[in-house]
Amino acid sequence: MTDYVKSLSPITAVIGTQWGDEGKGKLIDILSAEYDIIARAAGGANAGHTIYVPDTENPDKPTKFVFHLVPSGILHKGKIAVLGNGMVVSIPSLIEEIDTLKKYNIDLTGRMLISDRAHIVFEYHKKIDGIEEAQKGDKKVGTTLRGMGPAYQDKIARRGVRMGELLEFDKFAEHVRSTFMSLQRLYKDLKHDIDKELEDIRKMLGVIRPFIADTSLYLYNAAKEGKTILVEGANGTHLDIDHGTYPFVTSSNPSAGGLHTGTGIGVNQIKSIVGIMKAYTTRVGSGPFPTEILDELGEVIREKGGEYGATTGRPRRCGWFDAMIGKYSVRINGLTSVNLTKVDVLDDLEKIKICTGYKHKGNKLGSMPAFADMYEELELEYIEMDGWMTDTSKATTYEELPENARKYIEKIEELIECPIQFVGVGIRRDQIIVRS
């Protein structure tokens, strides 16, 4: 792995290419050992990165960590974690993660920075999330109800409250009350004890204030000094507010463009972008999903893959690999390589399908539809491949994989037009194959 990392740029990004939950956390965790700084650019507590850390006393039962805000690379000693300006931060959720890490003797003092420009998610944002979802009836987006959308709405409406304002609490409290009163006029059913929330935040100031900084300047200076930076993506390309299956998307830009705006890193500096793709496809919540498997096989894949949301615990919808989605993500993000994850989940299948194209009303499409209702009218083109019916979880080199597994991987590589550099065959850190 170290030899491969040497081929990457000093500032490298890892991003999701489907609808999130692709397994970004594992590769980020592995690569973090080789980088000085790990930064997040977008999203908030709606994202969940699950890491399994080996237990020396019980190797078969690794310790599970789930990160929602803190970059998961913090598990490596001496690394600096940065929460970028594109994030929206729930202060109680952040405190909870800090406390959880302390229980494992991981102290973030001097090891984490939060952008003074990152916006804050308040409890009233979560209530607004619920109100808006209820109003949509059967057209629900399937939000996590963590307040992300309403917080980003406030940001775009220029009434949002930012982390840097915590440095002058009285002005901060005045701004929060003013914003909340404006929102109460918009949402007649919004009831919330804003004074209690402000008092709760006041009690957390001693923990939070030391972390607040101009993170864009910090990253710029660190890069000038020769420090290496790994940008940790959240969610997935097809949840992107601009490039995803709108309106069934998140409220930020998890695609490559958001890495720059969400961290302040210059657009010419991130030269290596690794995309994470599952060997099949999953989605949480509502929205288009062309290759979804609606029979018992979908349930079989869900159970074998442990496909339940890291943030909400909701069961994920499962489907075949969609090369149209993969190729679109390669193009939109300018991917330089791909990590194909969870190949082992398909070990027991006799036949495996790959979607290779879409038709709409008889016309072959060159890319993803712009409108959600078009997905309901798609005709899908599939190829069917022989499965390998062999345990891949113990393979440590590409050559050790069954021939049919290699054929499957190479067919995906051909269809998406991007090299597959990594192949995941299990949840542990060591269950990843680096192709030469």
Give the CATH number, domain containing residue 393.
3.90.170.10
CA 161 and chain centroid, separation: 24
Q: What is the pLDDT of residue 194?
A: 96
Whether residue 341 sits in one domain with residue 431: yes
Q: Pairing mode, if any, of strands 432-434 and 49-53?
A: unpaired
Whether residue 310 sits in one domain with residue 400: yes
Q: Does 359 map to a domain?
A: yes
Whether residue 301 sits in one domain with residue 415: yes
Q: What is the pLDDT of residue 47?
A: 65
What's the predicted TM-score (pTM) here? 0.91
CB-based contacts of 80, cutoff 8 Å, min separation 6: 36, 37, 38, 111, 112, 113
Q: Which of 157, 182, 211 is the last residue of a domain?
A: 211
Q: What is the pLDDT of residue 148?
A: 87
Residue 143 or residue 1, greater confidence: 143
- Residue range 132-148, pLDDT digits in tens: 888 877 666 667 778 88
Whether residue 312 sits in one domain with residue 193: no
Q: Does 326 map to a domain?
A: yes
Q: Does 269 map to a domain?
A: no
369 φ/ψ angles, rounded to the nearest 5 degrees:
-65, 150
Whether residue 435 sits in one domain with residue 289: yes
Q: What is the pLDDT of residue 416?
A: 98
142 φ/ψ angles, rounded to the nearest 5 degrees:
90, 35
Q: What is the pLDDT of residue 54?
A: 66
- Residue range 120-176, pLDDT digits in tens: 999 999 999 999 888 877 666 667 778 888 999 999 999 999 999 999 999 999 999
Q: 212 in helix, strand or coil?
A: strand
The answer, yes or no, to whether the previous bond of 62 is cis (omega within 30 of 0) is no
Percentage of the chain exceeding pLDDT 70: 94
CA dist., res. 293 & res. 345, Å (int): 15
> H/E element holding 275?
strand 272-278
Q: Which of 194, 211, 228 is the last residue of a domain?
A: 211
Domain count, the chain: 2
Whether residue 430 sits in one domain with residue 293: yes
Q: Residue 12 pLDDT > 80, yes or no?
A: yes
Instruction: Exactly one of 21, 29, 36, 154 is catalytic; name it.
Output: 21
Structure tokens at 244: 């995803």
Give the CATH number, domain containing residue 186.
1.10.300.10
Q: Which of 192, 211, 230 is the last residue of a domain?
A: 211
- Residue 238 annotated among the catalytic residues of the structure: no
Q: What's the rounded mean pLDDT across residues 404-421?
A: 98
Q: Does 33 map to a domain?
A: no
Instruction: Exactly one of 49, 119, 125, 260 is catalytic; name it.
Output: 49
Whether residue 410 sits in one domain with residue 310: yes
- How many contiguous H segments (helices) and E segments (strands) does the chain have? 13, 20
Percentage of the chain exceeding pLDDT 90: 76
Whether residue 431 sits in one domain with residue 339: yes
pLDDT category at 217 given cuts 50, 70, 90 is very high
Whether residue 286 sits in one domain with residue 163: no
Tokens 């990152």 belong to which residue?
118
- Residue 348 annotated among the catalytic residues of the structure: no
Whether residue 291 sits in one domain with residue 206: no
For the chain, give the mean pLDDT. Answer: 92
Residue 223 or residue 72, greater confidence: 223
Q: Does 198 map to a domain?
A: yes
Whether residue 424 sits in one domain with residue 331: yes
Q: Does 296 map to a domain?
A: yes
Per the structure, the complete domain to which residue 383 belongs is given by 276-436
pLDDT category at 44 given cuts 50, 70, 90 is confident
- Residue range 268-283, pLDDT digits in tens: 999 999 999 999 999 9
Q: What is the pLDDT of residue 63?
A: 75
Backbone angle region of 365, left / alpha / beta, with phi > 0 → left and psi within -120 to 50 → alpha: beta
Q: Does 40 map to a domain?
A: no
Q: What is the pLDDT of residue 49?
A: 62
Q: Does 78 map to a domain?
A: no
pLDDT category at 208 given cuts 50, 70, 90 is very high
User: Using alpha carbons only, how large is the chain's radius of gyration in Å?
Assistant: 22
Residue 313 or residue 331, greater confidence: 331
Find the DSSP H helices in 85-137: 91-103, 123-136
- Residue range 346-389, pLDDT digits in tens: 999 999 999 999 999 999 999 999 999 999 999 999 999 999 99
Structure tokens at 191: 């009831």
Burial of 217: CB neighbours in 10 Å, binned 0-12, 13-18, 19+: exposed
- Residue range 234-265, pLDDT digits in tens: 889 999 999 999 999 988 999 999 999 999 99
Whether residue 147 sits in one domain with residue 285: no
Q: Residue 309 pLDDT > 80, yes or no?
A: no
Q: What is the pLDDT of residue 353?
A: 98
Q: What is the pLDDT of residue 178?
A: 96
